Amino acid sequence: MKIFVSKNYSPFYNLVLEELMIKDDNNKEDIVYLYQHNNAVIIGRNQNAHSEVKFDVLEKENIDLYRRNSGGGAVYHDLGNLNFSFITKKDERSYEKFLEPVMEFLKTLNLNVEFKGRNDLVVNGSKFSGNAQFIYKDKMVHHGTILFNVDLTKLSKVLNPSKLKMESKGIKSARQRVTNLLDELEQKISIQEFIDKFALFLKEKYNATDFIIPENYYQKIDEIAEYKKSNDWLLGKNPEFSFFNEAKTDGGILQIKANVIKNKIDSLQFQGDFLSKADINEIIPLFLNKNYDKKEIENILNSISNLNDYFGTITIDEIISIMFGE
């Protein structure tokens, strides 16, 4: 078995590296991989980013958004969180069996750890670890999180769904009580000490040696990362969804109904008692097949010179706010 502890803190490095590890036919041995991310939200492959994440908080807090290859729910990562991956041959072991080494290690720290539900670890009744898996040919990745000393305030702030009334065919995250392991430890240690102890435990348990990154990985990491940062991957993989939002403004009630496919607006309706002088349906084609994106919608609205003829005194900011459920 090989073990690797990353010193890079970007998901566009670490999760791409994980992908390269599993896809490399030269990797014949199992790999244990430990890594951290600084200020990132990681969503499951089948999730709708718009229903999981507040995009205004992402922008304001400079938080990376990454769509991983595995299923499961959205998670927030900062340097108080440790991630682990087991890269191995395709295996029918249950989540609980995969997590036995993690549980064994945590029990050496006198933590009362239990497996709960489909894919979670809990301590004293509170969740601190979520897990997911994905398969590539005859190999698989089992990866998970360990909340050690995460900023739970920011976690709650960025992962709380927006007020967007959305009917999505994607997978929604389950919200439940979470805790940091640091709060549960009798003897406090730093996260670096925690990582070092965990790595040593795994090395001794599996007689593991260090994994050396092949030189040809580095160019591939940059190439794949560019695609993983693109809207085509982050938002174009969103499941189809529809929404209906309304609000009362000084200019009247505005209702917006739409259907979105691969983050493109497929159908759109503006309704309400606002004082429109022109047929609102005249401007609908301007929005069709455009990205469901604030800046793009704002640019379209700004391009309509006689916008007041369609929306009366309702402002662009109000239209944007209603469309994105703020």
Q: 203-258: per-residue pLDDT in tens?
A: 999 999 999 999 999 999 999 999 999 988 988 888 888 989 999 998 988 999 99
pTM to 2 decimal places: 0.79
Fold of 241-323: Enolase-like; domain 1 (3.30.390)
pLDDT, mean over the chain: 91
- Residue 163, pLDDT > 60, answer no
- Residue carrying structure tokens 């159908």: 267
Q: Mean pLDDT across the stretch 45-58?
A: 85
What does each C-alpha distance from 205 to 53, 140, 145, 257 come to in angstroms?
38, 21, 20, 56
pLDDT cut 70: percent of the chain above it? 95
Fold of 2-234: BirA Bifunctional Protein; domain 2 (3.30.930)
Burial of 305 (0-12, 13-18, 19+ CB in 10 A): exposed
Give 269-318 pLDDT, tens digit per residue.
998 888 788 889 999 999 999 999 999 999 999 999 999 999 999 999 99
In the prediction, which pLDDT does 161 show?
61
| More confident: 9 or 94 | 9
* CA angle in degrees (0–180, nearest 5) for 270-57-290: 35
Q: Do domains 2-234 and 241-323 have the same CATH topology?
A: no
- Residue 187, pLDDT > 60, answer yes
Nearest to 314 by CA among 252, 223, 226, 244: 252
- Residue 76, pLDDT > 60, answer yes
Band of residue 172 on the pLDDT scale cut at 50, 70, 90: low
How far, in whole angstroms, is CA 126 from its chain's centroid? 21
Residues forming a β-bridge with 249: 252
Q: Mean pLDDT across the stretch 89-113?
A: 92
Ordered by start, the domain boundaries in the chain are 2-234, 241-323
Band of residue 136 on the pLDDT scale cut at 50, 70, 90: very high
